Amino acid sequence: MRKLRRVLVCVLVGLSATSAAFAQPKGKDRADKTRAEPPADVETAEQLYAKLDYDRANEVAERVIKQRNLTHDQLVRAYRIRAVTDAILDKEEQAREAFFQLLVFDPEYTVDTNLGPKVSTPFIEARGQFRSLPSKPGMEVVASVRADGGQLRVTTRDPTRIAKKVSVGYRWTSTGEYTVSTVSVGEASVEVAPATAGRTRLDFYALALDERDNAVFEAGSPQVPKSAFAEAGSRPIGGGGAGGGEKSGGSVFSSPVFWIIAGAVVAGGGTAAFFAFRPEEPASRAALSPQIRCGAELCK
């Protein structure tokens, strides 16, 4: 009886080991199952693309696009990888849509002709759709600033209505925090506070953000802002008050010319006053050659 029990135990152990062996993947399959998922960042997608691993590059780029708070540069680079790899992987419709979205973000983009018709064909179709838009997507900022303040005028062109709001920042220093305002898409303006003492350069940027707060359009950025300089002579010269300059004009007693003439009157008497105040006359020969008399007769 004991011997029978031992036999049954051995059989059961053997069956468990066999099942476990079949349950574990072998060779390449096991490596594929345990392989770590690549990080969802633009650099990884570009590295996979450079290694011709188009499937994984496409997958990573798609995951990047779904993230939040992407910079405009990250968004453009991710769509470049996705659009090209969609075309290479025969996803024609997805490639055309990705190329169109890429052109909205980067209207100057052109596809590499060396990639062949598989890639260039959906790009050309997307470009035709893009050119039919009523306006060219993008944004611009015009700065009008003085040392005592100014204004940033922001224009956002968004025919696809992808932008939901515009973030505008400025600072009078080359480093540090920006003063940030949120304005509506389209035409908007932001008032600029007076400059700090000794500052004349204003750094600024504007970002059009989508529903995920990704920067779909930009004019400058917090990392690489645009700059403007305060207009010369922006602070008022007159007007009184603390730090104001003297007013032009004023009393005659404040004129240095008056005091010079007055001094001449005191020092030289009536004769000096006559010459000081008489109208200017052309010089004559008699005035330049005085005659000296000795009594009633001319001296010889």
Q: For residue 176, give the CATH number of its domain.
A: 2.60.40.10
pLDDT per residue as tens digits for the range 3-55: 545 544 444 445 444 444 444 444 445 444 445 778 889 999 999 999 999 99
Q: Do residue 73 and residue 119 come from a single domain? A: yes
For residues 146 and 215, membership in a common domain is answered with yes
Q: Which of 79, 107, 131 is the last residue of a domain?
A: 131
* Residue pair 65/79 in contact by the 8 Å Cβ criterion: yes
90 lies in some domain: yes
Q: Is residue 247 part of a domain?
A: no
According to the model, what pLDDT value does residue 217 have? Answer: 98
Report the candidate in 107, 129, 114 with the shortest Cα–Cα distance to residue 84: 114
On whether residue 111 sits in a domain, the answer given is yes
Burial class (CB in 10 A: 0-12, 13-18, 19+), 168: buried
- Mean pLDDT over the full length of the chain: 78
How far apart are the C-alpha atoms of 162 and 97, rounded to whole Å?
14
Q: Looking at 68, 96, 131, which one is the last position of a domain?
A: 131
Indicate whether 246 belongs to any domain. no
> Which domain range does residue 179 map to?
140-229
| Claim to verify: residue 91 and residue 169 sit in the same structural domain | no
Look at residue 27 and tell me if it is in a domain: no
Indicate whether 292 pLDDT > 70.
no
Q: Is 209 in the same domain as 180? A: yes
Where a domain ends, among 195, 229, 263? 229
From the CA atom positions of the chain, what is the Rg in Å? Answer: 42
Pair (150, 127) in one structural domain? no
pLDDT of residue 2: 52
The DSSP output letter for 114 is: G
Per DSSP, the three-state class of 95 is: helix
Neighbours of 151 (CB within 10 A): 13
- Answer positive or negative: Cα dihedral of 64, 68, 73, 75: positive
Q: Tell me, what's the pLDDT at 37? A: 78
Q: Are residues 199 and 125 in the same domain?
A: no
Claim to verify: residue 75 and residue 149 sit in the same structural domain: no
Q: Residue 68: is its pLDDT beyond 90?
A: yes
The beta strand positions in the chain, using DSSP E, are 138-146, 149-157, 165-171, 179-183, 187-192, 201-209, 215-219, 226-229, 293-294, 297-298
Are 106 and 160 members of one domain?
Answer: no
Q: Is residue 54 included in any domain, yes or no?
A: yes
CB 210 within 8 A of CB 227: no
Number of domains, the chain: 2
Report pLDDT for 109.
Answer: 97
256: helix, coil or strand? helix
Question: Can you tell me the distance from the alpha carbon of 234 to that of 192, in angstroms, rounded to the nearest whole number?
Answer: 14
- The answer on 146 and 100 residing in a single domain is no
Give domain status of residue 2, yes or no.
no
pLDDT, tens digit, 9 for 90 and up, residues 43-58 = 999 999 999 999 999 9
